[in-house]
Structure 1
Amino acid sequence: MPTGHHDICQRFDVECLPPELDQKVGIALNSLGKVPLHAVRLPPENGTCGWYIYGGEYSDDADFYQPLHVAHLGEYCPSILPYLALPPGWRVLLAPSYEDVWFDGELLKHG
């Protein structure tokens, strides 16, 4: 895992839960050039670490997200790496000179 994730978790006073490098994220590769960058962490399941990442506006298209191993995330979205150890229920919003990180309990509800 990249350096810096312990600093982020300490800053928000949460337990560090970094994903395993062989787990997968859901990432909207075609949207990554758009601003802002959104990331949400749901509870891990079926080999995923729970992170879903996209740029710009969300789409509910079935093929919006593609699976990507955490080990390759730095090649596509290095700015999110320091935040990956935030536990499920956290959201990250990044734009040039802007950062917003918050807990959203709704992400932990299944329904």
Structure 2
Amino acid sequence: MNLYKEIEININIYVETKGLSSYLDKEIRVLIKDQHQEDYINVIKYITDYIITNKPTISENQNIGYYSWLLQFRSEDKNYYDLYEVNRDGSDFIEGCDTAVSIVRSQSELCSHYGLPVQFPNFSQMIVISEGVYEGKDIEAIRYESPEHMTGWWLITDDYNDDIESLKTVHYHHVAFTRPDILKYLAIPFGHRFLMEDGNISISKD
């Protein structure tokens, strides 16, 4: 048993809260699968922080961002909200949070490797792309200081015709679902870029 902000976090086949129902009508739990136990605990702590700070009203199938991935509350037990996560291709939600944990870990480890702070994008933000991004082509990417609703990323391929009017502003999740090969680079902070050439990626300060 762990104690976090006076909320018990217990571990069996789930990592689950005890005491969070004083803020909600139920407790929160997530199914343990293939990740480290501590990773699931961190997810529960993240959700606990959100609930204690914001005191939201949670409803069935309500989404919540976990850094740069998407979770969902499901009410399949009268005492608990179970955490589900969106599939990598965006097709549906599945029980657990293993994809979310692995993506957040890979983004954090990459930034740590380059000595950079982690700046997670989120599902409610937008991203600027050119033709060729969805098609899997090599990318030149630059992240600019931007308003809160934007990730700051501009993703350009060789299909870009130098006409800024041809660029599209799309939701971050469309890129996350169609280009899993670049996901771990998208938490690199403002003022940096990455260049993909023949599948190899280099990172530099802009």
Structure 2 length as normaliser, TM-score? 0.45
Q: Find runs of 4+ consecutive structure 1 residues off by over 6 angstroms.
A: none
Give the C-alpha shift of residue 75 in structure 1.
2.7
Give the C-alpha shift of residue 71 in structure 1.
1.9
Matched with 2:196 is 94
- 3-state DSSP of counterpart to 2:166: coil
Distance in structure 2 (CA, Å) of the matches to 1:25 and 1:76: 13
Structure 1 unaligned regions, length at least 5 = 105-111
Match of 1:17 among 119, 122, 126: 119
Q: 1:63 to 1:78 in 2, by over 3 A?
A: farther
Aligned pairs for 1:25-104 (under 5 A) are 25-28=127-130, 30-32=131-133, 33=135, 35-45=137-147, 47-56=149-158, 58-104=160-206
More strand as a share of residues: 2
Contact 1:21–1:69 (CA under 8 A) maintained in structure 2: yes
Contact 2:142–2:154 (CA under 8 A) maintained in structure 1: yes
- Who wins on radius of gyration, i.e. which is larger? 2
State the structure with bigger RCO (CA 8 A, min sep 6), 1 or 2.
1
Give the C-alpha shift of residue 57 in structure 1.
5.8
Counterpart of 1:23 in structure 2: which amino acid? Q
Tell me the matched-pair count: 103
User: Percent of pairs identical after alignment?
Assistant: 23
Structure 1 length as normaliser, TM-score? 0.79
Q: 1:43 to 1:101 in 2, by over 3 A?
A: same
Give the C-alpha shift of residue 76 in structure 1.
2.7
Give the C-alpha shift of residue 60 in structure 1.
2.9
Structure 2 unaligned regions, length at least 5 = 1-67, 69-102
